[in-house]
A = this chain, B = another copy of it.
Amino acid sequence: MRIDRMGEARLIRLIQRTVKSRGRLRVGIGDDGCVLKNGTVVTTDAYAEGVHFELAYMSYEQVGARCACAALSDVVAMGAEPEVLVVALGLRKGMTDSEVRALYRGIERVCAQLNCEVGGGDIILLDRLVLALTATGRTKRPKLRSEANPDERLFVTGYLGLAETGRLALKLRLPKRGLLPAIRRHIEPLPRIQVLRRLGASVRALIDTSDGLATDARHIGELSRVRVVLWLDKLPIHPATHRLCRAMGLDPVRFALCSGEDYELLFTARRLVVSSVDRVPITCIGSIEAGSGLYSVSKDRLMPVLEIGYDHLTAGQTIT
């Protein structure tokens, strides 16, 4: 079967069946990263021009920063402090040294903010710019997608759909008034490490929102074997997203469910007493219950969630 018709989840299961465990890993394929027995987290991600970023409205420095944010977000989503980032670059032949330098300036700037080292890499020539970034980190107690339990609540940092709002604002060249926070979140989605540092002890299951709330919440439900119920009336939707959805005739709740690449922390906890950390809002958006499936509650009606987020293989969102 062609991979662009089978979707990521099936392909990952196929790969899981092909490789064998040799007892060195605490966490293997299927989470945001793998974890060695000694607590080292390793996670890798690839980003291509025209798919994950656009040079039409982003500088090379912004591209570097954005990809570094996404890579380090996976380390944070394992409950770890980033340590080192290595960079495999596929460059276009005509690129100049100052463009490469700008890319690395962006990567370095984000690494500096997360106290992470750039440890080297590899460079090859391709037809378009591709970055494959691998980050390592360290944690005594990895946070997994599979550790949600009934009677916990579901929380998310920041805003849902804000980065996608920013992406569309740039792509469609909308007037920037009122959309700047969204554009900033798209261009430099800094991982929420300060939230992890402050609240880590309370966090049970953890994932970062890279494929859209609907998909990411489903991952927690499936891997923890619990039912996730989303409180649709409580989703944190930024005024910029409301403004964009109004202008485009979109439903902001569906937009929040399906939009990827916010790189916010989505986690479960028994209880949480703070509503923000360092001005990053933390919102309770649902509950964990015994059972299975992803459900939503809005105005007291319980419904299965049919929306799905972004699939990198079929390259689409299905809003049913």
Give residues in A with beta carbon < 8 Å to B. 1-4, 6, 8, 10-11, 14-15, 18-22, 24-25, 28-31, 33-34, 36, 40, 42-48, 51-52, 83-84, 86-91, 93-97, 100-101, 104-105, 107-108, 111-112, 115-128, 130, 132, 134, 136, 312-313, 315
Q: Tell me if A130 and B125 are in contact (CB < 8 A).
A: no
Q: In the complex, which residues of chain B have a beta carbon less than 8 angstroms from the beta carbon of A105?
A: 18
Q: Tell me if B36 and A84 are in contact (CB < 8 A).
A: yes
Distance in angstroms from A15 CB to nearest chain B CB is: 5
What separation, in Å, do the CA atoms of A134 and B71 have in the docked complex? 13
Distance in angstroms from A102 CB to nearest chain B CB is: 9
Q: Tell me if A48 and B101 are in contact (CB < 8 A).
A: no
Q: Tell me if B44 and A86 are in contact (CB < 8 A).
A: yes
Q: In the complex, which residues of chain B have a beta carbon less than 8 angstroms from the beta carbon of A3?
A: 91, 93, 95-97, 100, 123
Distance in angstroms from A293 CB to nearest chain B CB is: 26
Q: Tell me if B40 and A121 are in contact (CB < 8 A).
A: no
What separation, in Å, do the CA atoms of A117 and B34 have in the docked complex? 10
What separation, in Å, do the CA atoms of A140 and B24 have in the docked complex? 18
Q: Tell me if B29 and A88 are in contact (CB < 8 A).
A: no
Distance in angstroms from A129 CB to nearest chain B CB is: 11
Distance in angstroms from A108 CB to nearest chain B CB is: 5
What separation, in Å, do the CA atoms of A311 and B6 have in the docked complex? 39
What separation, in Å, do the CA atoms of A28 and B22 have in the docked complex? 29
CB-nearest residue of chain B relative to A93? B4
Are A42 and B130 also in contact (CB < 8 A) when A14-B97, A18-B105 are?
no
What separation, in Å, do the CA atoms of A67 and B63 have in the docked complex? 27
Q: Tell me if A1 and B96 are in contact (CB < 8 A).
A: yes
CB-nearest residue of chain B relative to A314? B125
Looking at A91, A95, A136, A313, the one whose CB has the most chain B CB atoms below 10 A away is A136
